[in-house]
A and B are shown apart, each in its own frame.
Chain A
Amino acid sequence: MNISRKTNLCSNLVFHRGVAQITSVHAIPSVRTSVPTIQHSLEQSNLRKALLQRPGLLGIKRGMITWFTKTGEQYAATVIEIDNCEVIQHKTKETDGYYSVMVGQIDKLKNIKPRDLTKFREAGVSPKAHVSEFRIRDESGLIPLGVELKADYFAVGQKVDVKAVTKGKGFAGVMKRHGFKGLNASHGVSVAHRSAGGMGGNQNPGRVLPLKKMAGRMGGKNCTVFNNEVLHVDGEAGIIIVKGQIPGPNKAYVKLLDAKKIYAKSINDINNGVQIY
């Protein structure tokens, strides 16, 4: 007993230069913890992005019509043409760091660069006039190359987002561009009825603050309209009718996607354990 105690003491003794120390019995040298998630990594950022499960469609805006429901309600609706929209290329996490599907629309046989021609040949489709990319959540949404995406890809009654470039308005004043009220029509205002008015303080801050709304180029920018209802779908004829307005002039190229806000909400609900009936 005595001897064993002695040896134990000896083992705990740490000798420094001139001093001998005894490590505490309660001291814990190290703890094994779980690997921390790095929030600024690609994977985590992709999860935060609420990326869609499948790619969308490419279409052409063809104009607006009147739409009657069965009960006789009247809506303004936009007609979108789906013209030979086909899958051209995949981008995967291994090669590009993310998953996406390249989709092309409108067959165009002339004046295409040989470099691009090879791309279309690999997919087994004819060359396309307009090619665009859809990011997706994971590899389950990679639709095989060369598959034609028809208009009945979307269901009637479903909500879709439509992306397009808005009509360019040129250099527009502050009233048109930002909806300012302008100055008075009378009370001594001269030649400045549509101007912005004050730009900020005087000596303080002594400058116009950044992001001050001023006149400038208006329109010609990417725009998304969310949650437009699909009213009619004709896969054979390549026609989709969407309720309401979408950006851009007629003949503009548009992107149609599943409603992102609804999708993201359902994902959040699943993650938070909300029961869905």
Chain B
Amino acid sequence: MLGIISTGRLLVRPRIVPTIQSITRSFKTLRTELPTVYNPLPKKRNGAPVLPFLQSQLLDKYDPSGKRRELQNTLRAGDIIKVTYLDRTDVVGRIIAIKRGNFNVGTNILIRNKINKVGCEVRVPLYSPKLRNVEVLHKPKTYLPRGKQYYIRNTRLDVDDVEAFVKRHEVKVTKALKRRADVKAEKKASRAAKRAALEAKKEN
């Protein structure tokens, strides 16, 4: 019953009376209860990713002393190495490239040599159980540029007979050392002679 002012009646505000429906209805959320969820199983490897976990395991297996891992970090293209296998055969060559991977057992070294003036290359898997030892024969003072030196093949920078080179170098080094020692000894002798002469003068 809404009164209107123009008719002279009083303005009556409508009272909100709760309907029967709203009283009787009970409210329910439509969402049903979610089923229980079981906890997941404990994480394997303490949550470590698979490949690094496995590679470190394999590295420990194939390289228990850590010697090869050190070689992987210290060797460089240009070094001359001697690889000895379990059956006592060996290969000598200059490193052209090292294929490394992060924690990778597949690391291998490409070495090049000249045998009867023919270029020969061998790829040596560094962590192979066939290897007995890897020996560094020579490290140059100055290195050629690039980590992978494939460009030296059949150029003036190419390797010569590596074994002969190492021998020559050794002779050179020993000679140089000997010369240095001789010079030192000479100097020492001359100094001693001078000192002796001085002492003789003083005595006189």
List the interface of chain A (C-beta within 8 A of B). Answer: 62-63, 65-66, 68, 70, 72, 74, 79, 81, 83-84, 86, 107, 109, 114, 117-118, 120-121, 124-127, 148, 236-239, 241
Contact B106 A121 (CB under 8 A): no
Q: Which candidate, B9-17, B34-42, B153-161, B168-176, is the interface stretch facing chain A?
A: B34-42
Contact B128 A62 (CB under 8 A): no
Please name the 10 residue pairs, one residue from A and one from B, whose CB atoms are nearest each other, closest first. Answer: A66-B106, A107-B40, A72-B130, A126-B40, A238-B44, A121-B35, A81-B50, A62-B50, A126-B38, A117-B35
> A129: shortest Cβ distance to chain B, in Å?
11
Q: Quick one: which of A81, A84, A86, A117 contacts B34, CB cutoff 8 A?
A: A117
Contact A109 B37 (CB under 8 A): yes
> B193: shortest Cβ distance to chain A, in Å?
64
Determine the distance from Cα of A76 to Cα of B83 in the docked complex, in whole angstroms. 23
- The size class of the interface chain B forms with chain A is 20 to 34
Determine the distance from Cα of A120 to Cα of B53 in the docked complex, in whole angstroms. 30
> A256: shortest Cβ distance to chain B, in Å?
15
Residues in B whose Cβ lies below 8 Å from that of A126: 37-41
- B21-47 to A contact mask, C-beta < 8 Å, 1/0: 000000000001011111111001100
Contact B45 A237 (CB under 8 A): yes
Contact B41 A107 (CB under 8 A): yes
The answer to whether residues A121 and B37 also contact, given A62-B50, A68-B62 and a CB cut-off of 8 A, is yes
Contact B41 A148 (CB under 8 A): yes
Find the residue from A66, A72, A84 having the highest chain B CB count within 10 A: A66
Q: Would you call the interface of chain B mostly helix, strand, loop, or mixed?
A: loop
Q: Quick one: which of A83, A84, A114, A236 contacts B32, CB cutoff 8 A?
A: A114
Determine the distance from Cα of A124 to Cα of B18 in the docked complex, in whole angstroms. 49
Contact A74 B51 (CB under 8 A): no
A-B contact count (CB 8 A): 76
Residues in A whose Cβ lies below 8 Å from that of B35: 114, 117-118, 121
Q: Quick one: which of B38, B45, B106 contacts A120, CB cutoff 8 A?
A: B38
Q: Quick one: which of B38, B44, B105 contacts A68, CB cutoff 8 A?
A: B105
The answer to whether residues A84 and B50 also contact, given A65-B105, A68-B129, A118-B35 and a CB cut-off of 8 A, is no
Determine the distance from Cα of A80 to Cα of B19 in the docked complex, in whole angstroms. 66
Contact A237 B51 (CB under 8 A): no
Contact A65 B37 (CB under 8 A): no
Contact A120 B37 (CB under 8 A): yes
Contact A65 B54 (CB under 8 A): yes
Contact A74 B38 (CB under 8 A): no
Residues in B whose Cβ lies below 8 Å from that of A62: 50-51
Determine the distance from Cα of A246 to Cα of B83 in the docked complex, in whole angstroms. 34
Contact A72 B129 (CB under 8 A): yes
Contact A121 B53 (CB under 8 A): no
Interface check B133, CB cutoff 8 A: no
